[in-house]
Amino acid sequence: MSTDVNVKLDALPGLDSDALPLEVKDLHVEFRTRNGIAHAVNGVSFSLRAGETRAILGESGCGKSVTAQAIMGILDTPPGFVTGGEIRYRGVDLLQLREAQRRQVRANRIAMIFQDALSALNPVFTVGFQLGELFRKHRGMSRADSKARAIELLDLVKIPAAKQRVNEYPHQFSGGMRQRVMIAMALALDPEVLIADEPTTALDVTVQAQIMALLAELQQERNMGLLLITHDMGVVADVADQISVMYAGRVIEEAQVRDIYESPSHPYTKGLLESIPRLDLKGQELSAIKGLPPLLTDIPAGCAFSPRCRYAQDACRQDPMPPLHQVAPGRSSACHFWKEVKADV
Amino acid sequence: MSDIVLEARDLVKHFPLTQGILFKRQIGAVRAVDGINLQLRRGETLGIVGESGCGKSTLARMLVGLETPTSGDLFVQGRNMAKVGGTERRRGRRNIQLVMQDPYTSLNPRMTVGAIVGEPFEVHPEVLAKPKRRARVQELLDLVGLNPDHINRYPHQFSGGQRQRIGIARALALNPEIILCDEPVSALDVSIQAQVINLLEKLQDELGLSYIFIAHDLSVVRHIADRVAVMYLGRVVEIGTEDQIYENPTHPYTQALLSAVPVPDPKLRGLRDQIVLTGDVPSPANPPSGCRFRTRCWKAQDICAQQEPELAVRQSSAHPSACHFAEVRDVVHAQR
């Protein structure tokens, strides 16, 4: 563990401070299970600028959380393996680094908060000890100094009476307060990129509003890139700049937030937006997407969404799948019939 | 007979807090539900919304008879469930069935779908003779959009949305008039959620069911409900038609709740007047005096600590609202 302190960030091979804080290119992740190989991520690419919020939107099993885990390097291996692609932090391909170097980037430069704060925190250590651990391991601080920093952090995330609460255990905190502790922990070493995996899904709406407001404020203060992984289209509309919509391990549409909500150009995105109950449709049937998402061990040929799609033609059911291509400046879609989808209101 | 199929009068559920192992003494009580009055009319959907810990699930469990009320009365089709005898009570319970939240844990993994959906007939054998049950189960599966040939499959062979359909089929088995849905779609993905909501609405039309629909997702409740009750710390703080609650909320808690729901429209970003509440919900073991919301309320005055506001129609509010200072506030919320 002590090696951490010695590895210097500047010594990372190919570090270029002008390059983007995060760039993912053609990432592939598979899970080798007894029931066959599950292709969880199949060629995902996106980039994140400093201060920008990119949302990765998708339903359960679309590969959004696996993408985040691969970026952080916390994938369960085995069964999960990164089988191709690049993950670049300021030009450095993280996949080529040794574990000790990787650990240095993790938390220091790229940090992550998880959905379930209770299981992400260690129940047998005080919150202050866990926060201070970051400073002791990564910065080589003493116990007393690290505790002082932990109190500062709790103050930063607006936990009242930080001096007392620093000595409490995770179970003594409420759900919203625990998520604040998670945020404090992620921000401790001042990272350039924060990955938030469903940060508010387990919380009530009034608490969700508090947490999202706090995240937005801290992001702006630090000009941090935020990768927000979520299925909640309301939250995305509120905070995101860019959106990547994922389905069956692929990004099927990418655009600025306004464009997606105004004129989705992939039938899946369109279907998602139409499944949200709306006032003018009260008493009518919701337009649900028929069928189920495919099994990741058995993704259909051609476009993975074609069995559920109302625009699908024969061409959609044959390989190769429609590539994610630019359909307008700053937006791309992976649909043969994006023009029709976009024109349909 | 009147049109009211279900009525709760001053329903209370306190869970005792005890100390000591051998000689237990009560040192307090968690006031999960603390005096609730509700009426459900035939064919309508009553939505109940509130945050975790507000008592909505305890209320649901009392309504279906899984929990005995500490005090108060529950009438199912005019029958007082606490007063009537065993046979009559069982018959009353038959009429109110529950659809549970988690489609993964609410189905026994060792039972086939046929056994799960047919189990209510074991409890109430008088409803249907044994030889006819299998056909009825298949009919029910068909009704909820599952393949009747899958009657011998096990729950793990189905997806989350399909499992929720199994739960709905089980609830329908005894031809109840009232279905209580406790967060029926919150464990499902958005696209699947819409399928299940459509199914519930279709069944209501076809079978003339009355629903009590408990959820924390306000936009789903708005879509399905005719009337909505908002709960906070074991109490109903505001009740009215869907329009009254969403368009003209008068209780500060309702206003804060509605304003906190993110709107799926990026154009409204920054234009909404969002009320961000401070702090957490107080413990139901020790609720604040007077109005329970006063500790987080921006309108709170001295009177709020001294006198509990009644859930009543006031001059400034066309529908019952439990606030001394109830007044309409325009909140830009989930749906425009």
**Is residue B216 over pLDDT 90?**
no
**Residue A7, Cβ density class (10 Å: 0-12 exposed, 13-18 middle, ≥19 buried):** middle
Q: List, for residues A50-63, the tens digit of each pLDDT value.
A: 999 999 999 888 99
Mean pLDDT of chain A: 88
Structural domains in chain A, CATH included, are 3-7+19-240 (3.40.50.300), 246-278+286-343 (no CATH)
* Mean pLDDT, chain B, whole residue set: 89
Is B262 in contact with A287 (Cβ distance < 8 A)?
Answer: no
Residues 121-140 of B with CB under 8 A from A: none
Question: What integer pLDDT is reported at residue B336 of this predicted model?
Answer: 43
**pLDDT on residue B86:** 82
Return phi, psi of residue B210, to 5°. -110, 135
The pLDDT value given to residue A7: 53
Q: pLDDT tens digits, residue range B5-26?
A: 999 999 999 998 888 887 888 8
CB-based contact B84:B92 (threshold 8 Å): yes
Q: Do A176 and B267 touch (CB under 8 A)?
A: no
CA distance linking residue B61 with residue B178, whole number of Å: 14
Average pLDDT over residues B129-138: 93
Q: Does domain B4-95+176-242 have CATH number 3.40.50.970?
A: no
Give the one of B190, B195, B268 whose C-beta lies nearest to A231's C-beta: B190
pLDDT for A280 equals 67
Q: What mean pLDDT do residues A219-223 have? A: 91
Judge if ipTM > 0.85.
no
- B43-87 pLDDT, tens digit each: 999 999 988 888 888 999 999 888 899 999 999 888 888 888 888
Q: Is the pLDDT of residue B333 over 60?
A: no
Residues of B in contact with A289 (CB under 8 A): 191, 194
pLDDT value of residue A117: 81
pLDDT of residue A234: 87
Q: How far apart are CA A211 and CA A217, in angstroms?
A: 10
Q: Do A292 and B192 touch (CB under 8 A)?
A: yes
Mean pLDDT of A179-184: 91
Question: Domain map of chain B by residue range?
Answer: 4-95+176-242
Of B198, B199, B195, B191, whose CA–CA distance to B141 is shortest? B199
Write the burial class of residue B200 (CB in 10 Å: 0-12 exposed, 13-18 middle, 19+ buried). Answer: buried
Distance CA A260, CA B264 (A): 11
Q: Do A258 and B267 touch (CB under 8 A)?
A: yes
Reply yes or no on whether the pLDDT at A46 is more than 50.
yes
Beta carbon pairs, A and B, within 8 Å: 115
Q: Which tens digits make up the pLDDT trace of B230-270?
A: 999 999 999 999 989 988 999 999 999 888 888 888 888 77
CB B265 to CB A207 under 8 A?
no
A4: pLDDT strictly greater than 50:
no
Whether residue A6 has pLDDT greater than 60: no
Checking A8-17 for CB contacts under 8 A at 24+ apart, the result is: A9/A104, A9/A105, A9/A108, A9/A109, A12/A92, A12/A97, A12/A101, A12/A105, A13/A92, A13/A96, A13/A97, A14/A91, A14/A92, A14/A93, A15/A90, A15/A91, A15/A92, A16/A90, A16/A91, A17/A90
Q: What is the pLDDT of residue B266?
A: 83
Question: What is the DSSP secondary structure assignment for residue A9, as one 8-state letter?
Answer: G
Average pLDDT value for residue range A317-335: 89
The confidence band for B334, taking pLDDT boundaries of 50, 70 and 90, is: very low
pLDDT digits (tens, 9 = 90+) for A120-141: 899 999 999 999 999 998 888 9
Among partner residues B197, B277, B335, which is closest to A286 by beta-carbon distance? B197
Determine the average pLDDT of the residues in A54-75.
91
Reported confidence tier of residue B213, pLDDT bands at 50, 70, 90: very high
B193 touches chain A (CB under 8 A): yes
Query: A284 at the B interface (CB within 8 A)?
Result: no
In this predicted structure, the answer to whether residue B1 has a pLDDT above a threshold of 70 is no
Chain A nearest C-alpha distance from B183 (Å): 14
Average pLDDT over residues A3-12: 60
